[in-house]
Amino acid sequence: MTTILGLDLAVWWFLVVGAVFTGYAVLDGFDLGAGAIHMLFRKEASRRVALNAIGPVWDGNEVWLVIGGGTLFAGFPVVYGTVFSAFYVPFMLFLVALIFRAISIEFRSKEPMAWWRKMWDWSYSVASIVVALSLGVVLGNLIQGLPIGADREFHGTWLSFLNPYALLVGLTTVALFAQHGAVYLLLKTENRIYARLTLIVRQTLRVFTGLYLLLSVATLWYVPHMLAVFRQQPWLFAVPLLTLALVLAIGRFLKRRRYFPAFVCSGSIAALLLLTVAAGLFPVLVRSTLNPAWNLTVQNSASSPKSLSIMLTMAAIGIPLVATYTSFVFWVFRGKVRLDSASY
């Protein structure tokens, strides 16, 4: 079997898929978070500033979601088919919310009427929350496992997704993105909205910290299989410990008004949480709650070695290009938001 630096191609592709979805969580996470707290701004000018803070980057950040879906389909088509058929209803809700978020941003400033703008403000905020909640619920169910049969088909109902643990993961995701978005907006704003955000960001951090600790306890109690790899490889405990250290560091940076380090910590927390999940599940991609022999793993659900080799080469070229473009956009639109006639 072909290996690169001691890892076979399927494992490398697992790392690629994980890296792309992590990029999406970090980048679109603050967009969704800014939307989640949007209705906490009372003034029209403040809401316009908040929208224009993410205006140049939100649609580009969604590209990482498209790439993530493509890499999952290319590398692990069995997982793609099983997961998307199992989560058909949640994914449809997720896509509808994504659509409404986009049209809310674009339509809001097309008319001057107060009722028109307030309607799209609510649409934008609710859609952002639904997107974040849906992502968290899907992740929570993947952590617990799904009723996957020997035929690699989902043997359950979509209502089973709305279980307490998955909903807790969903709420924690919303809270994480909300504080991530609040920190980002602090970097991009000034005056009235800036003062308002200094209060909001502390509230979102408290809510996330509480939910994160509650989720940690719930995972230890209800999802014990996530601990197996940590018992076998104790050094992996460094990942959740580092996550907790970053949560505490955000509070210190906020007190000192050092918002860029706080933003880096916030994004790193999202990445480390996904790394913790990946480490706890690996080599399983989708755990079967019916029979462990029916788990979908990195090895039994991957594409052929030749396909993986070709696509890995394409990913090595394409993903850095997207990352470079994303960095360029952030560099061009750096600095504080200034409203003008072309603003949302």
Backbone angles phi, psi at 176, to 5 degrees: -60, -50
* 32 within 8 A of 339, measured Cβ to Cβ: no
For residue 2, what pLDDT is reported? 66
Tens of pLDDT, residues 55-106: 888 888 888 988 888 888 888 999 998 888 888 888 888 999 999 999 999 8
pLDDT for residue 1 is more than 60: no
For residue 182, what pLDDT is reported? 95
157 or 50: which leads in pLDDT: 50
Q: What CA–CA distance (Å, rounded) separates 258 from 239?
A: 24
pLDDT band at 4 (very low <50, low <70, confident <90, very high): low
For residue 203, what pLDDT is reported? 94
The highest-confidence range among 188-192, 235-239, 260-264, 304-308, by mean pLDDT, is: 260-264
For residue 101, what pLDDT is reported? 93
Mean pLDDT of 109-136: 92
Residue 154 bridge partners (DSSP):
148
For residue 181, what pLDDT is reported? 95
Nearest Cα residue to 165 out of 34, 246, 277: 277
For residue 314, what pLDDT is reported? 86
For residue 262, what pLDDT is reported? 94
Q: What percent of the chain has pLDDT over 90?
A: 46
pLDDT band at 138 (very low <50, low <70, confident <90, very high): very high
* 139 within 8 A of 169, measured Cβ to Cβ: yes
pLDDT for residue 183 is more than 90: yes
Q: What CA–CA distance (Å, rounded) separates 46 from 42?
A: 7
175 or 230: which leads in pLDDT: 175
For residue 100, what pLDDT is reported? 94
Mean pLDDT of 129-142: 94
* 263 within 8 A of 187, measured Cβ to Cβ: yes
272 or 161: which leads in pLDDT: 272
pLDDT band at 180 (very low <50, low <70, confident <90, very high): very high
pLDDT for residue 227 is more than 90: no
Tens of pLDDT, residues 331-343: 988 888 877 766 6
For residue 42, what pLDDT is reported? 86
For residue 301, what pLDDT is reported? 87
pLDDT band at 129 (very low <50, low <70, confident <90, very high): very high
Q: What is the pTM of this model?
A: 0.93
Tens of pLDDT, residues 232-276: 888 888 998 999 999 999 989 998 989 999 999 999 999 999 999
Buried b (16+ CB within 10 A) or exposed e, 253-276: bbeeeebeebbebbbbbbbbbbbb
Backbone angles phi, psi at 339, to 5 degrees: -80, 140
State the CB neighbour count (10 A cutoff) for residue 135. Answer: 24
**Mean pLDDT in the chain?**
89
For residue 90, what pLDDT is reported? 84
